[in-house]
Amino acid sequence: MRTMSNGADDHKLRVSKIHNGTVIDHVHGGQALNVLAILGIDGSEGEEVSVGMNVPSDRLARKDIVKVEGRELSQDEVDVLSLIAPDATINIVREYEVVEKSRVDRPDVVEGVLSCPNPGCITTGDEPVDSRFEVLSDGVRCSYCGTIVREEIASLIET
């Protein structure tokens, strides 16, 4: 949208408010699609989603924002989000008002949400063993085989 202000061009990004749902703000630029993957949102279910990518931010220089109508995130979803968006804030919206605002808190361990990329790991075989990863400052480590993943964590999310 373009507006005029005191003879100078003023550029503003406008995304409509959501009625009820969740706003995930302060996601590092370029990670919004990974956030959608974590939430299992691929457009097939008709979810109403607004995404802003690489928008200006005072805190991060550039950030992504994801707004999901009609859905409040579970703690498990927030824990996994924290792995790729450690600076994110989660805003719960009801009747167009933010009723709860919190920052993600990285857990020490995530269980049953990531697949180990090591084909020799006990969690990737026929054994009924849930995955377990220790959360590191720069990635995750499989508790069973020791494999460390620092990039592409979103690609390991079990669906």
145 is in an annotated binding site: yes
For residues 123 and 113, is the Cβ–Cβ distance under 8 A?
A: no
10 is in an annotated binding site: no
Provide the token pair at 123.
């969690």
CA distance 157 to 159: 6
For residues 68 and 51, is the Cβ–Cβ distance under 8 A?
A: no
Q: Please give the DSSP secondary-structure letter assigned to residue 46.
A: -
The DSSP secondary structure of 84-123, one letter per residue, reads H-TT-EEEEEETTEEEEEEE----SEEESSB--S-TTSGG
Angle at CA 89, nearest 5°, toward 83 and 94? 125
Q: Annotated binding site, which residues? A: 116, 121, 142, 145
Q: Annotated binding site for Zn(2+), which residues? A: 116, 121, 142, 145
